[in-house]
Structure 1
Amino acid sequence: MVEVWLPYGDSEVCVRIPTTSLLDVIKPKDVDVPPDPQEEIRSALKNPVEGKSIEDIAKSETKVSIVLKESFLQINRMIICTLIDELRSAGIRDEDVTLIIAHDPFRLSSEHDLPTDTSLSERLRIIWHNHRDGENVYFGSSPSGIKFYLNRNFLEADVKILVGTVEPHPIIGYTGGWELIFPGIADTDSSNEIFKLELDEITMRGRLKDNPVYEEISGAAEKIHVDLALHVVMNGEFKLVKVFAGEVNKSFLEAVKFADSIYRIPVEDRADVVFISPGGSYFDATFQESTLCLDTALDVLGKKKDLILVAECSHGFGDKEFLETILKYPNLRLLRKDLERKFSIPKLMAYRLMNVLQRINLSMVT
Structure 2
Amino acid sequence: MSPLKIELPYGKSKLTLEVPESMFSEILLPKKKEGVKNPISEVEKSIRNPVPTEFSPLDELINGSGKTSIVVNDITRSTPTHLMLPPILRVLKECGVQRDDIRIIIATGTHRPVTREEMNKILGDIAGKYKVLNHNCDDELVYLGETSFNTPVYLNETFMESEYKILTGEVELHYFAGYSGGRKSVLPGVSGRETITRNHSMLLDPRSDIGVLDGNPVHEDMTEAAEMAEITFTVNIVKNEKKEIVSVFSGDFKEVLRRGAKVVDQMYKVKAKEKVDTVLVSAGGFPRDINVYQAQKAVFNAEKMVKRGGTIILFAQCKEGVGNKVFEEWMRECNDLKDAEERVKEKFVIGGHKAYYWFRTVENYRLIMVTDLPKEIVEDMFRCEKMSPEHAVKEIDGEFSVLPYGGDTLPIV
- TM-score normalised according to structure 2 size: 0.84
Residues 1:159 and 2:161 aligned together: no
CA distance in 2, matches of 1:137, 1:145: 17
In the TM superposition, what is the alpha-carbon distance from 1:297 to its structure 2 partner? 1.0
Residue 197 (structure 1) aligned to one of 194, 202, 215: 202
Conserved 8 A contact 2:78-2:287: no
| Aligned match of 2:65 | 61
* Cα shift readout 1:299-330 (whole Å, capped 9, x = no counterpart): 21111101000011112233333223122222
* Cα shift readout 1:181-229 (whole Å, capped 9, x = no counterpart): 1111110011101111112244221111222211221133223311111
CA distance in 2, matches of 1:49, 1:40: 14
Residues 1:36 and 2:34 aligned together: no
In the TM superposition, what is the alpha-carbon distance from 1:108 to its structure 2 partner? 4.9
| Aligned match of 1:315 | 320
In the TM superposition, what is the alpha-carbon distance from 1:285 to its structure 2 partner? 1.4
SS at 1:79 equivalent? helix
Q: Structure 2: which amino acid aligns with 1:2?
A: L
In the TM superposition, what is the alpha-carbon distance from 1:292 to its structure 2 partner? 2.1
Matches within 5 A, 1:164-313: 164-313=169-318
In the TM superposition, what is the alpha-carbon distance from 1:36 to its structure 2 partner? 0.7
Conserved 8 A contact 1:73-1:116: no
| Aligned match of 1:116 | 123
- TM-score normalised according to structure 1 size: 0.94
Conserved 8 A contact 1:99-1:124: yes
> CA RMSD for the aligned pairs?
1.6
CA distance in 2, matches of 1:144, 1:10: 41
CA distance in 1, matches of 2:206, 2:331: 19
Conserved 8 A contact 2:109-2:135: no
CA distance in 2, matches of 1:155, 1:74: 24
CA distance in 2, matches of 1:73, 1:26: 21
CA distance in 1, matches of 2:205, 2:6: 37
SS at 1:143 equivalent? coil
Where does structure 2 lack aligned partners over 5 or more consecutive residues?
A: 372-413
SS at 1:192 equivalent? helix
In the TM superposition, what is the alpha-carbon distance from 1:69 to its structure 2 partner? 1.0
Residue 7 (structure 2) aligned to one of 2, 5, 10: 5
Conserved 8 A contact 1:231-1:243: yes
Q: Structure 2: which amino acid aligns with 1:179?
A: K
Q: Structure 2: which amino acid aligns with 1:58?
A: I
Where does structure 1 lack aligned partners over 5 or more consecutive residues?
A: none
SS at 2:259 equivalent? helix
Q: Structure 2: which amino acid aligns with 1:240?
A: I
Residues 1:336 and 2:341 aligned together: yes
Size of the aligned set, in residue pairs, is 363
CA distance in 1, matches of 2:78, 2:178: 23
Conserved 8 A contact 1:143-1:220: no
Conserved 8 A contact 1:95-1:123: no
